[in-house]
Chains A and B, each alone.
Chain A
Amino acid sequence: MSTPQQGNGHGSDRRRRLRTPPPLFILIPAAIGLVLFVVPVVGLLIGVPWGDLVALLSTEAVADTLRLSLLSSLAAAAISLVLGVPIAWVLARCRFPGRSVVRGLVLLPLVLPPVVGGAALLFALGRRGVIGAPLARATGLTLPFSTWGVVVAVTFVAMPLMVVTVEGALRNLDSRFERAAETLGASRWIVLRQVTLPMIGPSLVAGTALTWARALGEFGATLTFAGNLPGRTQTLPLAIFVALESDRDTAIALSLVMVTVSLVVLVSLRDHWWRRR
């Protein structure tokens, strides 16, 4: 009950502080830095063939690509919720030897060039890979050059964002609430569902959205691991890359779709992302 009130107090405090203009030694580098982010978007917007936009985007090939991108990125977000949140929980709550190594491994895809990640996936899960070969023999399923391969590649690259976001939230969580619920007789499952998860809700939303947006934009690992075939493994970024070499107008139109979708997600995310800070 007291949470929203306290939240408001913080909000007005913050607003009051914003009224004093930032000092120049902050404002100038910030403005220079901002130019770096704004200029490419402006450049893209200038290049957009607005008159042909609808025609360029309403082809069957674009629909295929969009469908595949939405499917694989939503799958990555869902898998990250199911697998990434428990990883975050373990990293935030459990002390065990080698925890920092485990965290490093989980975060590796964030800093690794995606192409390297894709190659590593190929060596592990490819048709002749350490796990891929027995998997293919047992089930006949080969991941490379299949839509499943795309899902694996984008999940590999995007899931760390879920882990980071949720682990941070779990660390900042006051565990006394959970202990209170436990002393009142709640099972650990009930505590998780009715206390822990609701309290980190904003971070779950933020983690899901960031993971999804990253998965939507994934390029290198997808191309390296899953290849590039329209309708099966060609996601939006791959289609943009291919179109850039032959049909620049389509490439820019597709880029506009990516920028718009990503920006809408990140802007609408803002409230969830900052509320707890």
Chain B
Amino acid sequence: MMVDNQAAGGSDRPPDEHRGDPSGWKRILAAGVIAVLITTACAGSPDSSGGRQELLVSAAASLTQAFQQMEAGFERAYPETDVVLNLAGSSLLREQILSGAPVGVFASANPAIMAQVAEAGHLAGSYEVFALNHMTLAVPKGNPGGVTGLHDLARDELLVGLCIATVPCGDFAHRVLAHAGVQPAVDTEEPNVRALLTKVEASELDVAVVYVTDTVASGGVDAIPIPDDQNVLAEYPIAVVSGSPHPTIAADFVAFVLSAEGRGILERHGFSLP
């Protein structure tokens, strides 16, 4: 039976090779058609957006909502520009810029990270602080864990989340906890503040240390304030990145963020102004 089977398999092969030539050409033709389709599709996309110039803005995850409005406002004022937001943890954004990503504007949640980018020679000029933020405790709606203050983060039975210490929100959280002398019983260290907040919104975490602006932006969590004497001030610097494909547009975007309209957007999202 086995022999039969194998023999049948073997005898299938020569005709297969025989047909090789014509079907091979058909395949090449098909591949060519696909390649043409792909290239025309790719070439078509800038046209479909009206030949607009693309400005890549790398902004800290905690700026998400505010910078989405910045994007809309800037594109209204500069209709020939297409702002593309690249939102992630500031240190990941730094790595991208240091490895040569075509970023026009960098808005970081931490001056130290901005300073590292500046030292590496990746900024076109100097940087400027454009927004301030504070930390707060975020708990699920209704506060099921009964959290009242920072000391609750030491409770083992609560699910406690922080940002990882290498991103600003984690760094600030650790400084706040150190000020308060609290040793937290951490259950997860999330790579950015959005991921952390999502888990509080889903009630998977009982408490997390996030930015004030995050609790303003999210309708799904309650905020338990951290007293001023234990809190820290987060400064957000912004700068034009050197080697940007469109340096003047990048400078225009920075000016827009610092303008009255930009400041209004920031205040609406819970930021303080310097």
Contacts and interface: CB of A to CB of B under 8 A. Distances in A.
Interface of A: 2-3, 6, 9-10, 13, 25, 29, 122-123, 126-128, 142, 144-145, 174, 176-177, 223-224, 227-230, 233, 241-242, 244-246
Contact of A228 (B1, B6, B189, B202): B189
A120 to B, nearest CB: 12
Nearest to A7: B6
B190 A228 contact: yes
Contacts, number: 77
Contact of A229 (B10, B28, B186, B204): B186
A245 B2 contact: no
Q: Is the interface of A mostly helix, strand, loop or mixed?
A: helix
Interface string B26-65: 0010010000000000000000000000000000000000
B218 interface: no
A80 B5 CA distance: 31
Interface stretch (B87-95, B173-181, B223-231): B87-95
5 contacts: A25-B24, A123-B202, A244-B92, A245-B91, A245-B164
Contacts of B164: 228, 242, 245
B188 A228 contact: yes
A242 B203 contact: no
A269 B69 CA distance: 52
Contact of B187 (A126, A174, A227, A245): A227
B191 A3 contact: no
Query: 7 shortest A-B CB distances, which residue pairs?
Result: A227-B188, A246-B166, A245-B91, A145-B187, A245-B166, A128-B203, A6-B6
Contacts of A3: 2
Contacts of B24: 25
A139 B161 CA distance: 23
Contacts of B3: 2, 6
B199 interface: yes
A245 B188 CA distance: 17
B159 interface: yes
Which of A3, A6, A13, A233 is the most central at the interface, judged by chain B CB atoms within 10 Å of its CB?
A6
Given A122-B202, A128-B204, A145-B188, A242 B1 contact: no
Given A122-B202, A246-B166, A6 B188 contact: no
Contacts of A2: 2-3
Given A2-B3, A174-B2, A242-B191, 13 more contacts: A126-B204, A127-B159, A127-B203, A142-B159, A144-B204, A174-B5, A177-B1, A223-B191, A227-B187, A227-B189, A227-B190, A245-B91, A245-B166
A245 B202 contact: no
B167 interface: yes
A158 to B, nearest CB: 22
B199 A244 contact: no
A224 B195 CA distance: 8
Nearest to B3: A2
Nearest to B187: A145
Interface string B185-209: 0111111000100010011100000
Nearest to B94: A245
A147 to B, nearest CB: 12
Contact of B1 (A29, A123, A176, A241): A176
A59 B39 CA distance: 49
A227 B166 contact: no
Given A127-B159, A128-B204, A228-B191, A245 B199 contact: no
A174 B9 CA distance: 13
A126 B188 contact: no
A144 B159 CA distance: 10
Contacts of A246: 91, 166
A6 B91 contact: no
